[in-house]
Amino acid sequence: MSTDKALEKQENAARESAKEKVNTHDRILEAAIKLFSEKGFNGTTTKEIAERAEVNEALIFRHFSTKRDLYGAIIEKKINEGPGIEILLENHRDSKDDRLIFTAIATHMFEQCGTDPTFMRLLHFSALEGHDLSDMFFSTYVEYVNMLIADYIDTRIKDGAFKNLNPLYSSKAFIGMIINQIIVQELFGEKKRIKTNKKELVDTFVEIFLDGLKSKKS
How many CB atoms are located within 10 Å of the residue 131 CB?
A: 18
Q: Which spans in 40-117 are helix H?
A: 46-53, 57-63, 67-80, 85-92, 98-115
Residue 91 C-beta-side C-alpha neighbours within 13 Å: 11
User: In terms of pLDDT, which residue wins out, 105 or 217?
Assistant: 105
- CATH (one of 3.40.50.300, 3.20.20.60, 1.10.10.60, 3.90.1150.10) for 3-65: 1.10.10.60
Residues in the chain: 218
Query: Quick one: 80 exposed, middle or buried, by C-beta within 10 A (0-12, 13-18, 19+)?
Result: exposed
57 has pLDDT over 70: yes
Sorted by where each begins, the domain ranges of the chain are 3-65, 82-213
Q: What percent of the chain has pLDDT over 70?
A: 88
19 has pLDDT over 70: no
Model confidence pLDDT, tens digit, residues 66-92: 777 887 788 778 777 766 788 888 889
Model confidence, pTM = 0.73
CATH architecture, domain defined by 82-213: Orthogonal Bundle (1.10)
Q: How far is CA 11 from CA 4, 15, 21, 60, in A?
A: 11, 6, 15, 26
Query: In this structure, are residues 76 and 90 in contact, taking their beta carbons and an 8 Å threshold?
Result: no
Distance CA 217, CA 31 (A): 53
